[in-house]
Amino acid sequence: MKQILNLLIVLALLPSLAALKTRWLVEQPGPVVLTLDGLAAREEARLRGFDIDDLLDAYRDMGVRGLGVYELRTEDWVERGKALYADGNMLRLIHPGAGFEPGWYYLSPRDPGEQGRIAGAWTLPQHRVAWLDRIWIGFPKDVLTMPLGPDQEFILNRYRRGNYIVYRPYNDRLRSWPPLLPEPVQAVVFAGEEALGFPDRLNEAAQLLEAPVGYVEAADQKGVLQIARMHPTLRVFSLQAEWQLKLSPEAAADKYLLAARERGHQILYFRPWPEPGKTARFVERVKQGLAASGITLGEPKPRTLQLPAYSRLAWVGVLAGLALLALAYPQPLGALISLGLLLAGLAYAGGQAGPLLAALVFASLGFAQHRRGLTAWLAALGYALAGSAFLAALGSSTLTITGLVPFKGVLLTLAVPPLLVALAGLPEDRDLRKVIAAAWEHRVRLGEVALALAALFALAIVLLRRGNTEWVPGLELQLRTALQDWMVRPRFKEIFGHALAVPALTQPWPRWVRTGLLAFSALAEASILNTFSHYHSPLFVSLARTLNGAVAGLLLGLVLATSIWMVRRWWSR
CA distance 520 to 534: 22
- DSSP E strand stretches across 147-281: 147-149, 164-168, 187-188, 213-216, 233-238, 267-270
Q: What is the pLDDT of residue 107?
A: 94
Dihedral angle computed from the Cα positions of residues 175, 117, 190 and 301, in that order, rounded to the nearest 10 degrees: 130
Low-confidence ranges of the chain (pLDDT < 70): 371, 427-488, 573
My answer on whether 14 and 42 are in the same domain is: no
**CA gyration radius for the chain?**
30
Identify the pLDDT of residue 468.
Answer: 45
Q: Whole-angstrom Cα distance, residue 416 to residue 349?
A: 15
255 with 214, same domain: the answer is yes
Assess whether 173 and 80 both reside in one domain.
no
Residue 256 has a pLDDT of 95
Bridge partners, residue 164, by sequence: 66
213 is a domain residue: yes
The pLDDT score that the predictor gives to residue 41 is 96
- Predicted local confidence at residue 486, as pLDDT: 46
Q: Give the CA distances from residue 24 to residues 234, 381, 402, in Å, rounded to whole numbers and listed in that order.
A: 17, 22, 14
The pLDDT assigned to 470 comes to 44
CB–CB of 298/33 below 8 Å? yes
Domain assignment of residue 410, yes or no: yes
Q: Evaluate whether residue 474 is within a structural domain.
A: yes
Q: Return the pLDDT at 374.
A: 87
Based on the domain organization, do 201 and 259 belong to the same domain? yes
Same domain, 419 and 556: yes
Report the CATH number at residue 203: 3.20.20.370
**Bridge partners of residue 67, in order along the sequence:** 36, 165
The range of the structural domain enclosing residue 93 comes to 75-139
**211 belongs to a structural domain:** yes
Residue 52 domain-assigned (yes or no): yes
Same domain, 471 and 382: yes
Same domain? 278 vs 316: no
Length of the chain as a residue count:
573
Write down the pLDDT at residue 475. Answer: 46
| 338 found inside a domain | yes
Residue type, 250: E
Within a 13 Å sphere around the CA of 73, how many CA atoms are in the beta-carbon half?
15
* Domain total of the chain: 3
